[in-house]
């Protein structure tokens, strides 16, 4: 069974909510990505999203844009990242998702990229700029490789299109709780319950809610409404702050554990 599917099955059986964490791969370097992944697994993270560095990350706010820039500056490429994931797999079975823009896949070739991901130990892809209407071949290749193709639903998504998107997805549905780009917010969206109910009317897939979650209190509040919450920019900001410190993994790991502990107490 795919690790993402297995993880959500385990969470549901235990009556628990999940924590999905996002970091920029190669920020500040790939050894840190490796070490943080292992630390997050021990801290209670359920799924780790790795942002593949790209020069034009149009879905991302400043914090994650700068992480992508640092990843590019550290020499992180998709092949080097997949090699790092293969090393992570020797010590951890944490479900791993690549958060990626389609240009990077297209350059390698769709079939080869998906096969390389499966071989390295990736569990799913979240392709930010590939809509379901253009994804027939992609979905077929992903299914054949045993990987989850994860789709996004936004607050502005019309219900008929929402129904199409969630019917096509696999693993989980990523609900963007706010309009705009990624980034930390001082409060959570007030219409989460109604929006999640709309999505649930069209799918049995788990729903992970992200964009703007900044602290344990917000993570707990958001996780109550969905099956998992996604925290990215707040963690990426910690990496930016401690990136040159020998205590990077310990400090960021402690912050992430505080998020996991909050989500697990629901």
Give the count of domains, the chain: 1
* Active-site residue (options: 27, 46, 49, 225): 49
Q: How many CB atoms lie within 10 A of CB 195?
A: 22
- pLDDT of 15 reads 97
Q: Residue 208: which of 16, 18, 52 has the closest Cα?
A: 18
Per-residue model confidence as pLDDT tens digits over 194-211: 999 999 999 999 999 998
Report the residue count for the chain.
266
Q: Where are the alpha helices (DSSP H) in 48-204?
A: 62-73, 78-88, 102-108, 110-120, 136-145, 159-168, 192-200
pTM of the model: 0.95
Note the pLDDT of residue 178. 63
Query: Are 86 and 34 in contact, with CB atoms under 8 Å apart?
Result: no
pLDDT number for residue 83:
98
Helix axes 78-88, 110-120, angle to 10 degrees: 20
Segments of the chain scoring below 70 in pLDDT = 178-190
73 given a catalytic annotation: no
Spot the catalytic one: 27, 60, 123, 225.
60
Angle, CA of 122, 145 and 119, to the nearest 5°: 45
pLDDT at 150: 98
Active site residue 139: no
Which residues span the domain enclosing 71?
Answer: 3-264
Query: Using CA atoms, how far apart are residues 165 and 157, in angstroms rounded to an integer?
Result: 10
Confirm if 231 and 22 have CB atoms less than 8 A apart. yes
Q: What's 153's domain CATH number? A: 3.20.20.70
């Amino acid at each position: 069974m795919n690790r993402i599917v297995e993880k959500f099955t385990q969470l549901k059986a235990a009556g628990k909510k999940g924590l999905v964490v996002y970091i920029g791969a190669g920020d500040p370097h790939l050894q840190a990505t490796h070490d943080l992944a292992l630390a997050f697994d021990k801290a209670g993270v359920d799924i780790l999203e790795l942002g593949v560095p790209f020069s034009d990350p149009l879905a991302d706010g400043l914090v994650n844009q700068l992480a992508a820039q640092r990843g590019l500056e550290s020499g992180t490429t998709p092949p080097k990242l997949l090699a790092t994931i293969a090393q992570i797999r020797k010590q951890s079975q944490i479900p791993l998702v690549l958060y990626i823009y389609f240009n990077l896949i297209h350059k390698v070739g769709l079939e080869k990229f998906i096969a390389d991901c499966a071989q390295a130990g990736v569990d799913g892809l979240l392709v930010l700029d590939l809509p379901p209407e253009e994804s027939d071949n992609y979905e077929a290749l992903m299914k054949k490789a045993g990987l989850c193709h994860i789709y996004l639903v936004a607050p502005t998504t019309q219900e008929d299109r929402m129904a199409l998107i969630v019917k096509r997805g696999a693993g989980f549905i990523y609900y963007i709780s706010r309009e705009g780009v990624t980034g930390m917010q001082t409060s959570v969206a007030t219409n989460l319950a109604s929006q999640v109910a709309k999505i649930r009317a069209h799918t049995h897939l788990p729903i992970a809610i992200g964009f703007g979650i900044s602290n344990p209190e917000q993570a707990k509040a958001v996780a109550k409404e969905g099956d998992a919450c996604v925290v990215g920019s707040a963690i990426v900001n910690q990496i930016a702050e401690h990136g040159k410190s020998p205590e990077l993994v310990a400090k960021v790991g402690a912050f992430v554990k505080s998020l996991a502990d909050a989500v697990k107490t629901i």
